[in-house]
Amino acid sequence: MRVLVTGGAGFIGGAVVDRLAARGDDVVVLDSLAAHPEAPDLPDAVDLVVGDLNDEDAVDRAVAGVDAVCHQAARVGLGVDFDDVTGYVADNDAGTAALLRALWRRGFTGRLVVASSMVVYGEGRYRCPDHGDVRAAPRRRADLDAGRFEPRCHRCGTALAWAPVTEDAPLDPRNVYAATKVHTEHLASLYGRESGARVCALRYHNVYGPRMPRDTPYAGVASIFRSALEHGTAPRVFEDGAQVRDFVHVHDVARANLLALDSPWEGACNIASGEPHSIADMARALAAAHPGAPEPVVTGEYRLGDVRHVVAAPDLAADALGFRAETAFADGMRAFARDPLR
Report if residue 148 sits inside a domain. no
The span from the CA of 68 to the CA of 89, in Å, is 25
Q: How confident is the model at residue 262 (pLDDT cuts 50, 70, 90)?
A: very high
pLDDT tens digits for range 129-174: 999 999 988 889 999 999 999 999 999 999 999 999 999 999 999 8
Report if residue 147 sits inside a domain. no
Average the pLDDT over each of 16-20, 112-116, 147-151, 305-309 and give the range with the smallest value: 305-309
Report if residue 203 sits inside a domain. yes
Report if residue 146 sits inside a domain. no
CATH value at residue 270: 3.40.50.720
Most confident of 33-37, 181-185, 335-339: 181-185
Report if residue 136 sits inside a domain. no
Is 325 within 8 Å of 246 (Cβ atoms)?
no
- Is residue 177 part of the annotated active site? The answer reads yes
Report if residue 181 sits inside a domain. yes
Q: Which residues, listed in sequence order, are joined to residue 276 by a DSSP beta bridge?
A: 246
**Average confidence (pLDDT) over 179-192:** 97
Catalytic-labelled residue, pool 88, 177, 191, 208: 177
> What local confidence, expressed as pLDDT, does residue 215 receive?
62
Report if residue 150 sits inside a domain. no
Report if residue 131 sits inside a domain. no
What's the pTM? 0.93
Q: Does 219 have pLDDT greater than 60?
A: no
What's the structural domain count of the chain?
1
Domain range for residue 226?
A: 2-124+165-337
